[in-house]
Amino acid sequence: MGKVGIIGVGQSAFVRQYPGSIRELAFEGFKNAMKDAQITVKDVDASVVCSAPEYDKQRSPAGVFAEYLGLNPQPTFYVESLCSSSSMGLRLAYSLVKSGLHDVVAVIGFQKMSEISSSESQERMGRGADIQWESPFGTMMPAYYAMYARAHMAAYGTTPEDLARIRVKSATYGQLNELAVYRKPVTFEMFADPNDRMAGPVASPLRVGDCCANADGSSCIIVASEEKARALSQKPVWILGLGAASTSVNLAGRNLFTGLTVAQEAAKQAYAMAGIEPKDIDVAEVHDCFTIAELMAYENLGFAAPGEGKDLIRSKETYKEGRIPVNVDGGLLSKGHPIGATGGSQIRTIVLQLRGEAGAIQVKDPEIGLVHNIGGVGLYGNVTILGR
């Protein structure tokens, strides 16, 4: 079979509280992707709906969306791998197209997290860990990533100031992203001021400014066979490499706490499939649910050696003008994190970059981009490599 391309991308604004239903929220991203691809629902052979369950009351949202979006009687699939759901959905869509079963597939990611309270949301996230041996004892997402931060600091001399630098970078670009939740500037001095909200403790050494926030949002990626992509799109972006991995759900079953093995393994697979090396990546989107997660991603993806990720942010090499621009759309730290929609939003950013349509955050002449999307506390890892 031929190559598989992306011919349309869309995203809703990420907001703290979306006023409509989940089907209306999904429509926001879908309509933008369909407009971008300049196709109609008759062109879509199948759909893949991606989210983390238990944030709303709807059972089997894929069927509901297929009806609402006018995609009946085409088949629809539901994919869940926590925060990496829509990257995993892209992997499924790629497989459906590559196999010849379908020519055009819509990957729709969504999450309406405001349907439940903040405390309920934290409890749901905790269930992403082992519900028998871990989450009943109160471990939540910030605490898990704080353990990784502690380990990284102990092993490599990473400091809270290094993490603050990542949030400052995020805010630099988040201000330019009209679809982001947080568009206010963040300065390094805020973290040094004990009275500033950014410096407020969450799970030591992580502070408020080190953590992304829940959000409501949707995203959509339109995937097509090479024949369809060339016929329907003026600027198809090609899927060059895909990597995916999993690991022990219990942290007690892991042997690395200064990085995520799923990211390392998924990156290895994606680089091999694409036939490239880390140095060939021109722009990247990484899963910065916490500042330490971005720092570890630098190292897990091969942009820096273990322990040297802090040097990249200190020298501003991950800024738009640097050697390897990372999260120049503000990342999760600025955009917010509507779990099922996050991977699709990351993919959208890289597609726009490769098409030269990223506006104020456009990197100069990128040819190859990478998306790193993690589910849970390093339970699932997905790495996607795209090329123009």
**What are the residues facing 48 on neighbouring strands?**
77, 107
What pLDDT is stored for residue 132 in this prediction?
Answer: 85
Q: Which of 102, 152, 287, 337 is catalytic?
A: 337
CA gap 200, 197 in Å, rounded = 5
Domain spans in the chain, listed from the N-terminal domain onward:
4-117+214-232
CA gap 73, 79 in Å, rounded = 19
What pLDDT is stored for residue 56 in this prediction?
Answer: 82
Q: Is 337 a catalytic residue?
A: yes
Question: Tokens 């879908």 sit at which residue?
Answer: 30
What pLDDT is stored for residue 121 in this prediction?
Answer: 79
What pLDDT is stored for residue 377 in this prediction?
Answer: 94
- The string of pLDDT tens digits covering residues 284-304 is 999 999 999 999 999 999 999
- The string of pLDDT tens digits covering residues 178-189 is 999 999 999 999
The dihedral through the CA atoms of 102, 24, 376, 275 has a sign that is: positive
What pLDDT is stored for residue 145 in this prediction?
Answer: 96
Q: Is 152 a catalytic residue?
A: no
Question: Tokens 């995520």 sit at which residue?
Answer: 260
The phi, psi pair for 214, rounded to 5°, reads -60, 155
**Residues in the chain with pLDDT values less than 50:** none
Contacts of 78 (CB under 8 A, 6+ apart): 48, 49, 50, 60, 61, 62
163: its two tokens: 């993490």
Helix residue ranges, H only, 106-224: 118-126, 141-156, 160-174, 188-192
Q: What is the CATH number of domain 4-117+214-232?
A: 3.40.47.10
The dihedral through the CA atoms of 269, 78, 82, 285 has a sign that is: positive
